[in-house]
Structure 1
């Protein structure tokens, strides 16, 4: 049973997650609003029809990332000064200001500034929320909470698409302002939750407040301050902080030295490869793209894609460990590439036909399903998993900043590629995604090692021994065979490490 405190706390955390998911979907519908296009667009026929230029769509979509980069970079400094709790308050304020400016329907430049303010909140919350969730959860519940957090992200996207569909036929500016303004409710929940929720126990211990840290743990885990669970958690936090103090201050330059360079490059490049699959195109421009392709009920199609994304994220929790990271990337990438290719071929053979439009929708559905079950979760795992324990935080920050920059670049370029007034690729953009997905698959084969089932120390060994990515799975099996035990057994780690170290010495001698 959850206590009232836990309901408030996780309500705040998951509302912040919904903000991230909602943001990825709401602008998609807003850009398709005829009133919005009239307000911020241009007309080529004397005012009969209005449309948004590629420049406008690029700026409205991509400049959010400028704020997100600032927020992500500022998160570490801000957290050290005001804690996780204070950071949530700052997130809510920035987000609310940005949303209010956008919903006001003010000048062109003001809407862009609103997007930048929203981006700052988004960048902050994308760093603060997972950190708070990890520090607030017990070892037994952490995996479940992180999985739930990922699922809530997709629910936020569904909510955005659903409101875009529900308000699309309202008169005037209401057909987009309501969709934008709904984020104020989520920001308010985050703000109120941050006022009530306890500070992260790790931060309190870091600040030398053990009594408050114990009280925080008792509230977060619904235990008495004198319970054994709280005592164990306090000892774990104290040991972790002592370990961090013993290794000294981490220098970000270390991320690019020795074997750490390969790890950093893998995590950082993963964000680029995710964007090269074309996922940002479907969730950022899907509605307007379907409208331009002549598909009716474009808002409904976008909602269906959001639902598919949410549903197929669930099996990824099982697949990523059962069949491994590399298999997920290869299977998912091949499915995405195949359906993009078929979409392009059908359009080339019978353009602007009912069959072509149906194939466009079907291709998008299967693409999203394949991405949600493979490249989506594996991508985020790869951006956080390969690093050493010492450099995990700075390396993840480097990967996240690069991810946001790539997101901005792709978001800025896509409208110029597909718009009829610019590159005019239209549905033929599917061929572009075929090429970029094929490139991403080749990169995955040569660069992404299989890390499923490996402990942190075994991951270090893999990189220290410079095992090629395409041999990593065989290396892992040999490690298990030499040891003669199941890798998943908790009791096997010492013997695995002992045998692995011997193997390492033999490799050096050979």
Structure 2
């Protein structure tokens, strides 16, 4: 494969070397830049509906790639449901002398929920170099085939240690999906569709929870192994059909341009949009212009993520990912168990968990409008602020006493927190993650950011499970105080360091980072369409 530097024109290289070149070469450079400017202006002037009409297949393939997230969501919420599932508790739990019921031991409750994340942590570090070398399509296909195999280990597991290992193995493909999906979605769609395309990831996370909620609700009253074996087997619904679809998906044109495969990139753009409405060659010229801004003779490496302006970009991606675990997201992931510990009956707890997931999907759709028209920074900050207030309110509700009224208040606030999180901070995070990184380092940056997510999530899961477990901290809704405090720290940090990237092309984003424009001044800063630095 050729190095990204291969995409440079001969004339451009001559300019860098200080050599002279003739008028024909000058004309070629001028035409190339003119095409790039035309394509960028076309995207900036395009409305949302016009973008959908111009790039219908881009929207479809972003939808397909986003669907891979449903598998991680399904399994994460499945393990969260299993710890509250009577048949699973009876098979693998220990007797609680206080209540006479079987419960999953605290150490295993935490370990099972962390096992998939440990595997995903391995997966995201594999994803970056793998995708940089073979592309988004083949990396995702590799993950889907591996997942088909690893589901067998989970299905036939007959002890908690084996379940732990099976979940760890399943987590490896999840890491590939979660690292690739936001990057791929942000690269195949035009500027106006970057927000809804990447926010679909959060929608599919909610759909995964809905599927799990429905399955768990149906089987919560069942006895015997079928209560948890059938939900495990249902995971096979996803990988093979998705693999067939992704086999026919176009590769990201940005990735192809980085590799110097310009004709293939033009063909990919043609497949993503309507040729009667777009000019693939102009699109390639725009991508070449951005890639050349970042061009280097070195292969992308993790070390580059922590040098120069890329360090700041990596910090933003990691920070946004970290905040998802430090602002009450774990309450959403353990919704059923939280409702049970808040004093709600098992059947009602599963029903509330299902309602929460359904509302999350609806609110993610509403967030498409908010983030597209009001910006990423604004929605993220306001949503995080409301989230902190509600978490503190949850702690207060749990502190005022026991009884039905207090239990209902905690359950209601837990539901509201889980739902509103998907209206503001959560979906805005995916847009920010997809837009922030440099093009040539994008697979590595999204993988590293997600790795930071898992590194923080793992101890947070242990802490969250301990706080909720009756044999542990038994805090119930008082955990809102803890998540409210960490959420406030994340909010203050985002206020000072998170820039507004709404309506910014990737060229403008590159330039603003290189100019070290303060985050709060991005919205007012003008970048001329002729600027290349």
Q: Which residue of 2 aligns with 1:488?
A: none
- Number of aligned positions between the proteins: 479
Does residue 334 in structure 1 map to residue 410 in structure 2?
no
How many Å apart are 1:306 and its aligned residue? 1.0
Bigger shift: residues 35-44 or 324-333: 324-333
Residues 256 and 286 of structure 1: CA distance in aligned 2, closer, same or farther (over 3 Å)? same
Classify 1:44/1:165 alpha carbon distance in 2 versus 1 (closer, same or farther; 3 Å): closer
Q: Does 2:422 correspond to 1:378?
A: no
Offset of 1:418 from its aligned partner?
A: 2.3
Moved more, 15-24 or 360-369: 15-24
Contact map agreement 1:308 1:368 (CA 8 A) in 2: no
In the alignment, which residue of structure 1 is the partner of 2:407?
A: 357
The 1:47–1:329 alpha-carbon spacing in structure 2 relative to 1, beyond 3 Å, is closer
Question: Deviation per CA, 1:124-172, whole angstroms, max 9, x where unpaired?
Answer: 1112334444555567766654344443332222222122112222232
Once the 2 structures are TM-superposed, how far is the Cα of residue 214 of structure 1 from its aligned partner? Answer: 6.5
Q: Which runs of 5+ in 2 are unaligned?
A: 1-52
Alignment of 1:88-167 (within 5 A): 88-134=140-186, 136-137=188-189, 144-167=196-219
Q: TM-score, normalization: structure 2? A: 0.77
Q: 1:133 to 1:55 in 2, by over 3 A?
A: same
Q: CA deviation at 1:114?
A: 1.2
Please name the residue that 1:263 is paired with.
313
| More displaced stretch, 395-404 vs 254-263 | 254-263
Q: Which runs of 5+ in 1 are unaligned?
A: 481-491, 502-510
Contact 1:130 1:146 in 2 (8 A): yes
CA drift at 1:245: 5.4
Contact 1:62-1:411 at 8 Å conserved across structures: yes
Q: What is the rounded CA distance, in whole Å, between the counterparts of 2:262 and 2:399 in structure 1?
A: 67
Deviates more, 1:431-440 or 1:75-84: 75-84
Q: 1:340 to 1:197 in 2, by over 3 A?
A: closer
**TM-score (normalised: structure 1):** 0.80
Q: Do the aligned residues in 1 keep the contact of 2:199 with 2:430 (CA within 8 Å)? A: no
Structure 1 residues 447 and 159: alpha-carbon distance in aligned structure 2, compared to 1, 3 A threshold: same
For the pair 1:59 / 2:108, whether they are aligned, the reply is: no
State the alpha-carbon separation in 2 of the partners of residues 11 and 467 from structure 1. Answer: 34
Cα 1:27/1:251, change in 2 over 3 Å:
closer
Q: Quickly say closer, same or farther: Cα 1:158–1:392, change in 2 above 3 A.
A: same
- Partner-residue secondary structure (3-state), 2:102: coil
Structure with larger RCO (C-alpha < 8 A, sep 6+): 2
Secondary structure of 2:109's counterpart equals: helix
**Quick check: 166-175 or 235-244, which moved more?**
235-244
1:26-425 correspondence runs (5 A): 26-45=78-97, 49-79=101-131, 82-134=134-186, 136-137=188-189, 144-197=196-249, 221=273, 229=279, 232=282, 248-283=298-333, 285-296=334-345, 297-351=348-402, 353-389=403-439, 391-425=441-475
Distance of aligned partners of 1:6 and 1:181 in 2 relative to their CA distance in 1, 3 Å threshold: farther
Q: Deviations over 1:366-416 (max 9, x none)?
A: 212331121112333344444445544443333222112112221232212
CA contact (8 A) 2:322 2:453 kept: yes
Measured against aligned partners, the alpha-carbon deviations of 1:292-345 in whole angstroms (never above 9, x if no partner) come to: 332021111111111222111223223235444443234223322222222322
Q: Deviations over 1:477-496 (max 9, x none)?
A: 3x46xxxxxxxxxxx8438x
